[in-house]
RNA sequence: GCCUUGGUGGUGGAAUUGGUAGACACGCAGGACUUAAAAUCCUGUCUUCAGCAACGGAGGUGCGGGUUCGAUUCCCGCCUGAGGCACCA
């Protein structure tokens, strides 16, 4: 009888399903335990080997907890809204709902093959109207709430309205800077629009304006992912910033709670630190500087700029008010609202040019770039203490969204300010005496101030308070706590997401009545961007404008007739559905609530949440926010969603990059539609190749090993001119690449036929080129043999979008689910990222076969027996119980797999086939390899599922030792071993060591300086 | 650039609290069984020096320093891979 894994795995998967072995009840005498995986986005590429890594870990832990007597909730679902499905729809004309459904079916088939213990009756799908009804409902909770500054809790906005009606804005501590104070009378006199505008400044879900990546050529907003090197990944079109109306979640109001409550969580320090840094709390001061602008007339008349004062002050945020005398220039973000009003005539052109440049830059580039850029506005700020005129500059490294969008630059104390000053020849004031050497800035707080007026001689650290006090006294500054975190953009100009239950009329947002939720996403035949950056839904005029039906029966005193209003046309982002899905699993069929309070009280927090670190600051922060809001509003009994977090490391794959020659992005618009030629310079000989005309695409690819120069020429006004070009890299799907350790070679024909738009490509190899379906040498002769087009292998996380995925199906078919599960765990520590490689899976498979042979022999059949176990066998068993239990508890699954191997090797060595030993081992193994454990369990005559067995109890009496083989080191280097009783004390040990032959050899007759003895560990002799 | 994290044999990794570096596997080499293969089993396998061998010497956890009787583990500096950086999920 041999180990027929495919037959037995199918058999048990069928029986588990049929008898609902993994169905979980919301009522149980057992203690509860909630194990959750980060649910997957169902991509068209299917499950890849990185997905199950975490799922296997959670499955092991769920089964382990169940064996330990817990009622374990372990559900699974899909994060089914998202950009890729929409992109696929645009490219292939398949509706996202259809492709998503197919993808989910495919995922499910793949997941089922691995033998997970999910309770599939609790499955959730974020794109299901029954689910997103409640996503929309929670959105309305956010929309209809504000953070009460006194209680620091989300509170219905009606409370705020009441307060405004009776007291005006006076009682509202921390009134937003954007709202002017008003009295109760003034509030009552406000128009509805004015009132609603004020309330919008408080709502936790609110509408504002934000910048997006706008691609004019594609007529759409692009995700950061879709922008590469400043141009659209598809087509290489220019991308610039565009200001659009957007929804936001006011997460900044929760910054302090999100920060403080981290201490309640059993998350890794790294994860907490990432969130802490993301929230980025800092204490400092806001300081108003008076501005003087140049008067243009004076400039013309006498050539010197004369300054006149400007109405608004320049408000800066700084954490170092102590350095105020060292301010040598101001840096304002190019988007700052003051810029237009303070720029001098002389600087006008330069400033405009700079702003245009910055518009084309992504936020990442602006912060990452090492090159220093900026423009002088011609205006000056006035230092309030000594009246010094400080030039005001623009630079991209100051972002509009952080602080006040303006900083005071102190070059002697700040790296970036210092470089900026040097680059633009701005004189540097030294306010820290010897602590500044003139060649590198020093951010110390412990030096004594110099050149600092009334602060001279004061230590910087102490000067902070003095300066802020003084500024507050003068009424031009105040203490301020700032957060780096910004409010979370919550709208997308896309189709495949949750529609907002909001109707707009006359600039006022009216929420849909709850009873009319869900607002269902309408079917659309064609998905394409709307006008002016609106989402695709805006093309569906009927849906947008047919709004009265949602308000039937609602008194007109609450809503005016909305007949000519329109539904919000953007949709919610991917993280909307994933911010609360863990709650829905608890009660996933509830039609009257997102989940019953009874269910959420019972299951409470997720006890163990497993997922990748890539969600550190996105999903994990938003889920925390939503949980807190629901808690504040009384819908939940807990305010943190995930008690313990285990970060599975990513499985990395090898992506393959292809070099593409493109026109430089700065001139792409000018020449994109011209005919092009590439000129290869090989051994001083020029070879010119025509490039097919292609709008937006150049389609010129260069093999990795090409090392001769290549120029790009365009035909402009009948002249062939050389233009600036850029080599960008983009990925080829690894399915089309022959990967070997030595080199990666593109399968050109397959690659091109998979993407017909690229069929006109020119591929340049080392010894020739591919064009029009043929390889040529550089003389243009058609070659019969293939040339090698090499790609650039690069290690990255495995992901569909990186085109480097490996599918688990083949391995499961070849070796079985149990082998696959144990192999993924055996790869290494769950928390570390590791490369995917299948060589090694044989070893795990051999282990399972070896285990099988402890029960059955291929020829003899049954070999297990009922004999009484001896001491050695019991020792092996109990050592294994201890090790597996410890390792599982600390999520050290790789060492647990090793421990199983050691155990089976040991039992095989002593030919132990005793049921009394083998049966408990099967229970230990159940979480890791449930199928083989189940099969052998039944072979031993059991007729219940092994998952309903109890975890074996460790008994230390079987493993106690009376002596130990101590390692004996001389000066820290092990020289010999010494077997000593475990209860032997220092004095006796020293005597035993001193008389040891090897030790004496090393002592050479001298006495040891010291003998270090750590009981049960080691002995070290110091000579 | 900023935040986080990793770097140990040919490969994946082990060493749980500062205490025998390389467990367990893969691969490789040699052998047993077999007509042969598969499967299985046995032996060896960090580098290097010396040696017929038993055994032994030296070095060794990315690099350079430090603390310690003792460092893969703690501290300082550097190099380098990965993840995230707000519209991929």
Model pLDDT, residue A174: 63
Instruction: Name A438's Cβ contacts closer than 8 Å, sequence gap at least 6.
Output: A428, A430
User: Whose C1' is closest to the CA of A369: which nucleotide?
Assistant: B1
Nearest to A464 by CA among A484, A450, A486, A479: A479
Alpha-carbon distance of A760 to A758, in angstroms, equals 5
User: Whose C1' is closest to the CA of A578: which nucleotide?
Assistant: B89
Residue with tokens 């050149």: A451
Spanning CA of A1019 to C1' of B19, the rounded length in angstroms is 8
Per the document, the length of chain A is 1023
Spanning CA of A370 to C1' of B76, the rounded length in angstroms is 27
Model pLDDT, residue A564: 77
CB-CB neighbours of A728 under 10 Å:
19
Nucleotide B88: closest residue by CA–C1': A225
Residue A953 has pLDDT above 80, yes or no: yes
Alpha-carbon distance of A836 to A111, in angstroms, equals 19
- Tell if A632 CB is < 7 Å from nucleic strand B: no
User: Whose C1' is closest to the CA of A977: which nucleotide?
Assistant: B20
Per-residue pLDDT, averaged over A981-985, amounts to 87
Spanning CA of A400 to C1' of B86, the rounded length in angstroms is 14
Residue A585 has pLDDT above 90, yes or no: yes
Nearest to A87 by CA among A233, A243, A239: A233
As a whole-number percent, the residues of chain A with pLDDT over 90 amount to 66
Exposed, middle or buried by CB within 10 Å (0-12, 13-18, 19+), for A199? Answer: buried
Q: What does the pLDDT look like over A152-189, one tens digit per residue?
A: 999 999 999 999 999 998 877 666 777 889 999 999 99
- Tell if A828 CB is < 7 Å from nucleic strand B: yes
- Tell if A839 CB is < 7 Å from nucleic strand B: yes
Nucleotide B71: closest residue by CA–C1': A972
Nucleotide B81: closest residue by CA–C1': A795
Alpha-carbon distance of A969 to A999, in angstroms, equals 9
As a whole-number percent, the residues of chain A with pLDDT over 70 amount to 98
Confidence of residue A696 (pLDDT cuts 50, 70, 90): low
In DSSP notation, A431-454 reads -SGGG--SSS----SSSBP-S-GG
CATH of domain A830-956: 1.10.730.10
Q: List helix spans (H) across A313-457.
A: 339-342, 348-359, 363-368, 415-423
Q: List helix spans (H) across A201-261.
A: 255-260
Q: What is the 3-state secondary structure (H, E, C) of A469-483?
A: HHHHHHCCEEEEEEE
β-bridge mates for residue A677, sequence order: A690, A713
- Measured CA to CA in angstroms, residue A156 lies from A142, A147, A163 at distances of 9, 9, 12
Q: Which CATH class is domain A281-483?
A: alpha beta
Residue A517 has pLDDT above 60, yes or no: yes
User: Whose C1' is closest to the CA of A496: which nucleotide?
Assistant: B87
- Tell if A607 CB is < 7 Å from nucleic strand B: no
Q: List helix spans (H) across A235-362.
A: 255-260, 269-279, 296-302, 339-342, 348-359
Confidence of residue A297 (pLDDT cuts 50, 70, 90): very low
Nearest to A891 by CA among A115, A60, A32, A34: A60
For residue A694, the SS3 value is: coil
Alpha-carbon distance of A963 to A984, in angstroms, equals 9
- Tell if A186 CB is < 7 Å from nucleic strand B: no
β-bridge mates for residue A763, sequence order: A701, A770
Nearest to A363 by CA among A332, A396, A335: A396
- Tell if A1014 CB is < 7 Å from nucleic strand B: yes
Exposed, middle or buried by CB within 10 Å (0-12, 13-18, 19+), for A910? Answer: exposed
CB-CB neighbours of A316 under 10 Å:
26
Alpha-carbon distance of A809 to A724, in angstroms, equals 47
Alpha-carbon distance of A770 to A751, in angstroms, equals 13
β-bridge mates for residue A982, sequence order: none
- Measured CA to CA in angstroms, residue A952 lies from A259, A871, A961 at distances of 42, 17, 21
Q: Which CATH class is domain A34-138+574-650?
A: alpha beta
Instruction: Name A208's Cβ contacts closer than 8 Å, sequence gap at least 6.
Output: A245, A246, A247, A248, A487
Q: What is the 3-state secondary structure (H, E, C) of A21-79?
A: CCCCCCCCCCCEEEEEECCCCCCCCCCCCCHHHHHHHHHHHHHHHHHCCCEEECCCCEC
Confidence of residue A299 (pLDDT cuts 50, 70, 90): very low
For residue A134, the SS3 value is: helix
Model pLDDT, residue A972: 84
- Tell if A388 CB is < 7 Å from nucleic strand B: no
CATH of domain A963-1022: 3.10.20.590
Q: What does the pLDDT look like over A248-268, one tens digit per residue?
A: 999 999 999 999 999 999 999
Residue A486 has pLDDT above 60, yes or no: yes
Model pLDDT, residue A1004: 78
* Residue A914 DSSP symbol: B
- Tell if A167 CB is < 7 Å from nucleic strand B: no
Give chain B positions with protein CB within 7 A. 1-6, 11-16, 19-21, 23-27, 39-42, 56-59, 69-71, 81-89
Q: Where are the domains of chain A?
A: 34-138+574-650, 150-252+488-567, 281-483, 652-797, 830-956, 963-1022
Spanning CA of A690 to C1' of B44, the rounded length in angstroms is 62
Chain-centre distance for alpha carbon A461: 37
For residue A305, the SS3 value is: coil
- Tell if A1017 CB is < 7 Å from nucleic strand B: yes
Instruction: Name A337's Cβ contacts closer than 8 Å, sequence gap at least 6.
Output: none
Model pLDDT, residue A303: 43
Residue A302 has pLDDT above 60, yes or no: no
Residues 82-111 of A with CB under 7 A from strand B: 82-84
Spanning CA of A906 to C1' of B24, the rounded length in angstroms is 13
Residues 215-234 of A with CB under 7 A from strand B: 221-226
Model pLDDT, residue A172: 73
Q: What does the pLDDT look like over A704-761, one tens digit per residue?
A: 999 899 998 888 888 888 888 888 888 999 999 998 877 889 999 999 988 877 788 8
Tokens of A635: 């819908």
Edge-to-edge strands, sheet with A645-648: A71-73, A32-37, A608-612, A645-648
Residue with tokens 């809204």: A81
Alpha-carbon distance of A720 to A726, in angstroms, equals 18
Alpha-carbon distance of A385 to A473, in angstroms, equals 13
Alpha-carbon distance of A46 to A104, in angstroms, equals 8
Tokens of A811: 């391995």
Spanning CA of A100 to C1' of B36, the rounded length in angstroms is 52
Alpha-carbon distance of A53 to A806, in angstroms, equals 13
Burial A415-426 (b: 16+ CB within 10 A, else e): ebbbebbeebeb
Confidence of residue A380 (pLDDT cuts 50, 70, 90): very high
Alpha-carbon distance of A525 to A80, in angstroms, equals 20
- Tell if A235 CB is < 7 Å from nucleic strand B: no
Helix (H) or strand (E) holding A1021: strand A1018-1022
Residue A586 has pLDDT above 60, yes or no: yes
Give me chain A's average pLDDT, please: 91
Alpha-carbon distance of A146 to A163, in angstroms, equals 13
Residues 685-744 of A with CB under 7 A from strand B: none
Per the model's pLDDT, the better-predicted residue between A969 and A9 turns out to be A9
Alpha-carbon distance of A986 to A561, in angstroms, equals 92
Q: What are phi and psi of A895, to 5 degrees?
A: -75, -25
ipTM: 0.95
Residues 563-592 of A with CB under 7 A from strand B: 573-575, 578
Residues 966-995 of A with CB under 7 A from strand B: 967, 969, 971-977
């Amino acid at each position: 009888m041999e180990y027929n894994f495919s037959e037995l795995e199918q058999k048990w998967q069928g029986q588990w399903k049929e008898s609902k072995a993994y169905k979980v009840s919301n009522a149980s005498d057992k203690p509860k335990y909630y194990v959750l995986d980060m649910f997957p986005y169902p991509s068209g590429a299917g499950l890849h080997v990185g997905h199950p890594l975490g799922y296997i870990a959670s499955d092991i832990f769920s089964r382990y907890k169940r064996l330990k007597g817990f009622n374990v909730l372990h559900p699974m679902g899909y994060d089914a809204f998202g950009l890729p499905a929409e992109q696929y729809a645009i490219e292939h004309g398949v509706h996202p709902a259809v492709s998503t459904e197919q993808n989910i079916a495919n995922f499910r088939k793949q997941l089922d093959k691995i033998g997970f213990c999910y309770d599939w009756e609790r499955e959730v799908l974020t794109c299901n109207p029954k689910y997103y009804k409640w996503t929309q409902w929670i959105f309305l909770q956010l929309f209809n709430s504000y953070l009460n500054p006194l209680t620091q809790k989300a509170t219905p906005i009606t409370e705020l309205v009441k307060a405004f009606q009776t007291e005006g804005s006076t009682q509202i501590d921390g009134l937003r800077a954007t709202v002017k104070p008003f009295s109760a009378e003034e509030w009552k006199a406000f128009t509805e629009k004015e009132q609603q505008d004020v309330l919008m400044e408080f709502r936790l879900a609110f509408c504002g304006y934000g910048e997006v990546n706008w691609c004019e050529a594609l007529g759409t907003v692009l995700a950061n992912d879709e922008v590469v090197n400043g141009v659209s990944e598809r087509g290489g079109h220019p991308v610039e910033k565009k200001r659009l109306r957007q929804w936001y979640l006011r997460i900044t109001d929760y910054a302090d709670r999100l920060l403080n409550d981290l201490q309640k969580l059993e998350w890794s320090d790294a994860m907490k630190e990432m969130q802490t840094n993301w929230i980025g709390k800092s204490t400092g001061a806001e300081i108003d500087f008076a501005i003087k602008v140049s008067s243009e007339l004076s400039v013309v008349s006498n050539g010197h700029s004369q300054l006149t004062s400007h109405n608004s002050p320049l408000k800066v945020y700084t954490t170092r008010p102590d350095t105020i005398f060292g301010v040598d220039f101001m840096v304002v973000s190019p988007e700052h609202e003051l810029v237009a009003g303070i720029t001098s005539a002389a600087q006008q052109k330069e400033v405009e040019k700079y702003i245009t440049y910055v518009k084309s830059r992504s936020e990442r580039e602006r912060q990452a770039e090492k090159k220093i850029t900026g423009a002088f506005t011609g205006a000056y700020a006035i230092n309030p203490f000594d009246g010094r005129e400080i030039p005001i500059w623009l630079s991209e490294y100051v972002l509009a969204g952080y602080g006040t969008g303006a900083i005071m630059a102190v070059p002697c104390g700040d790296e970036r300010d210092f470089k900026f000053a040097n680059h633009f020849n701005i004189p540097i004031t030294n306010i820290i005496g010897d602590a500044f050497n003139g060649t590198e800035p020093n951010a110390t707080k412990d030096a004594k101030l110099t050149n600092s007026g009334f602060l001279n001689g004061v230590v910087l650290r102490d000067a902070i308070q003095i300066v802020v006090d003084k500024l507050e006294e003068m009424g031009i500054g105040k203490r301020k706590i700032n957060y780096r975190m910004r409010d979370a953009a919550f709208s997308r100009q896309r189709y495949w997401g949750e529609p907002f239950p909001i109707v707009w009329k006359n600039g006022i947002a009216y929420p849909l009545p709850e009873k009319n939720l869900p607002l269902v996403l309408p079917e659309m035949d064609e998905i394409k961007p709307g006008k002016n950056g609106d989402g695709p839904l805006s093309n569906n005029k009927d849906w947008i404008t047919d709004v009265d039906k949602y308000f039937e029966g609602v008194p007109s005193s609450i809503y005016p007739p909305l007949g000519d209003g329109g539904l919000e046309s953007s949709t919610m982002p991917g993280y909307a559905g994933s911010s609360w899905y863990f709650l829905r699993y608890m009660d996933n069929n509830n039609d009257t609530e997102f989940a019953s309070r009874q269910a959420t009280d019972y299951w409470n927090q997720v006890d163990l949440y497993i997922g990748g670190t890539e969600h550190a600051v996105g999903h994990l922060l938003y889920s925390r926010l939503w949980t807190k809001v629901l808690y504040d509003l009384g819908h939940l009994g807990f305010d943190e969603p995930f008690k313990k977090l285990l970060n599975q490391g990513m499985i990395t794959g090898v992506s393959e990059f292809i070099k593409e020659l493109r026109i430089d992005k700065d001139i792409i618009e000018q020449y994109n539609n011209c005919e092009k030629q590439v000129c290869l310079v090989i051994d001083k000989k020029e070879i010119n190749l025509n490039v097919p005309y292609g709008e937006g695409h150049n389609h010129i690819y260069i093999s990795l090993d090409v090392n001769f120069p290549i120029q790009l020429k365009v035909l402009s006004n009948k002249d062939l001119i050389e233009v600036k070009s850029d080599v960008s890299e983009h990925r080829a799907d690894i399915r089309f690449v022959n990967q070997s350790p030595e080199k990666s070679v593109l399968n050109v024909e397959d690659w091109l036929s998979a993407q017909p738009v690229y069929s006109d490509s020119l591929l340049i190899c080392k010894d020739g080129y591919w064009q029009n379906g043929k390889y040529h040498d550089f003389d243009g002769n058609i070659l019969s043999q293939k040339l090698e087009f090499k790609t650039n292998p690069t290690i990255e996380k495995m992901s569909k979008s990186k085109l480097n995925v490996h599918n688990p199906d083949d391995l499961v078919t070849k070796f079985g689910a149990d082998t696959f599960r144990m192999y993924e765990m055996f790869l290494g520590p769950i928390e570390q990222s590791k490369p995917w490689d299948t060589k090694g899976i044989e070893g795990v498979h051999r282990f399972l076969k070896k285990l099988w042979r402890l029960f059955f022999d291929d020829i003899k059949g049954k070999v297990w027996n009922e004999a009484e176990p001896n001491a050695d066998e019991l020792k092996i068993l109990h050592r294994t119980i201890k090790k597996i239990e410890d390792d599982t508890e600390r999520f050290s699954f790789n060492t647990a797999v090793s421990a199983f191997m050691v155990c089976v090797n040991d039992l095989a060595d002593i030919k132990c086939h005793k049921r009394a030993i083998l049966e408990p081992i099967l229970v230990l193994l159940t979480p890791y390899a449930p199928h083989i454990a189940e099969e052998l369990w039944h072979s031993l005559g059991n007729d219940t599922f092994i998952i309903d067995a109890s975890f074996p109890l460790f008994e230390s009496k079987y493993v106690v030792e009376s002596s130990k083989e101590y390692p004996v080191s001389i000066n820290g280097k092990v020289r010999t071993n010494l077997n000593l009783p475990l209860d032997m004390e220092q004095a006796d040990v020293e005597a035993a060591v001193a008389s040891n032959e090897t030790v004496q050899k090393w002592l050479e007759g001298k006495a040891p300086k010291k003998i270090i003895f750590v009981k049960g560990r080691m002995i070290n002799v110091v000579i």
